[in-house]
Amino acid sequence: MMELLIGIIGSLIATMILMAISLARDRMQYQSIGRTHIRAFKGEWEGIVKPQEGIVDVPNEIPITFYIKPGWWKRVYATSSFNSLSPSRGKIINIYNGGFLHDRYLLLRYHNKDHDTIGFGATTLKLSADKQHLYGNIIGYSSHADKMFFSKIELKKKYFD
């Protein structure tokens, strides 16, 4: 009986160690940045998404709001929201996670918060020298257009923490 208990405890410890190694490996690609940059990125951002290809029934500019917050151990989390092009769908919320690749450059992967709606992709953002603007690109899949898309994004810091 004691051998069985020791075997179970050993298996649990090995599983926890493997999980920790896996988490560490996933975060190694991201860089640590200073508190100044974390404060600059953290908070609410408002701006526009500019689709770069002519998709039928899609405006040239789509207003969007981002909330970015630093996570644990080099991770960055964010949410964005914008009004769907289809009024019956209401507000679209995307969930992001990623990290800094270099100094002012942020890479985030995203998916739609509503798991019944297919929407996913990635965005890269660069912090401006004045730390009040983010500029970048989004590439992903839109269930509304039923296709892949590429867009430019411009955000302005709504307020400073």
pLDDT digits (tens, 9 = 90+) for 80-106: 999 877 777 788 899 999 888 877 888
* pLDDT, tens only, 128-148: 988 899 999 999 988 777 788
> String of b and e for 137-160 (b: at least 16 CB within 10 Å)?
ebebebbbeeeebebebbbebeee
Best CATH choice for the domain 32-157 from the list 1.10.150.120, 3.40.50.2300, 2.40.128.20, 3.50.50.60 = 2.40.128.20
Predicted local distance difference test score (pLDDT) of residue 148: 85
pTM assigned to the model: 0.75
Predicted local distance difference test score (pLDDT) of residue 67: 94
Mean per-residue pLDDT, 60-86 = 86
Instruction: Compute the distance between CA of residue 145 and CA of residue 150 in angstroms, rounded to an integer.
Output: 12
Residue 78 buriedness (CB in 10 A; 0-12 / 13-18 / 19+): buried
**115 against 125, higher pLDDT:** 125
Instruction: Compute the distance between CA of residue 154 and CA of residue 70 in angstroms, rounded to an integer.
Output: 20
